[in-house]
Amino acid sequence: MKPALTHIALHVRDLDASKAFYAKFCGMKTVHERGDKGERVAWIAEDGKEHAFVIVMIEGGNRPAQRGDDFTHLGFALASREAVDEIARRGADHLVWPPKTLPYPVGHFCGLADPDGNVVEFSYGQPLGPDADEQRSP
């Protein structure tokens, strides 16, 4: 079997705030939660993908927030440019990257900061994600 990407793990300061952010803006839900050696741990996933890829959140993180020139981020594909703009509007208090369009393969995107300062990108037009074939524009 070749390696398959199954999860990414992030330390978070406030597990409940982080779960609420990812539920509100990314449509993710908690699929597993437990206490590990005094720390709360939650797995969150997109509906129907809980056996494919999860974000593991470990409460107790205290790393510094991302700097403005750091493009580290989690990326989520959306169904349209309008959906990207709507996320930016709904998440105005979290907005790090206002909506903009760059040449293929980047497309139209915006970025929000989660409660720990991690940037979450929302994009349309990238050759990634469930609707990539319809979004491709070389």
pLDDT value of position 133: 65
Strand partners, 32: 43
In terms of domains, do 69 and 57 share one? no
Q: Are 94 and 76 contained in the same domain? A: yes
107-to-11, 74, 76, 82, 135 alpha-carbon distances in Å:
30, 16, 12, 13, 9
Determine the structural domain holding residue 31 and report its residue range: 1-63
Residue 103 has pLDDT above 90, yes or no: yes
Same domain, 57 and 83: no
SS3 of residue 64 by DSSP: coil
Residues 69 and 55 in one domain: no
* 56 and 105 assigned to the same domain: no
Same domain, 108 and 126: yes
Task: Indicate whether 77 and 138 sit together in one domain.
Answer: yes
Structurally, the chain folds into a number of domains equal to 2
CATH number for the domain harbouring residue 138: 3.30.720.110
The per-residue pLDDT for range 45-92, each reduced to its tens digit, is 999 998 889 999 999 877 777 776 778 899 999 999 999 999 999 999
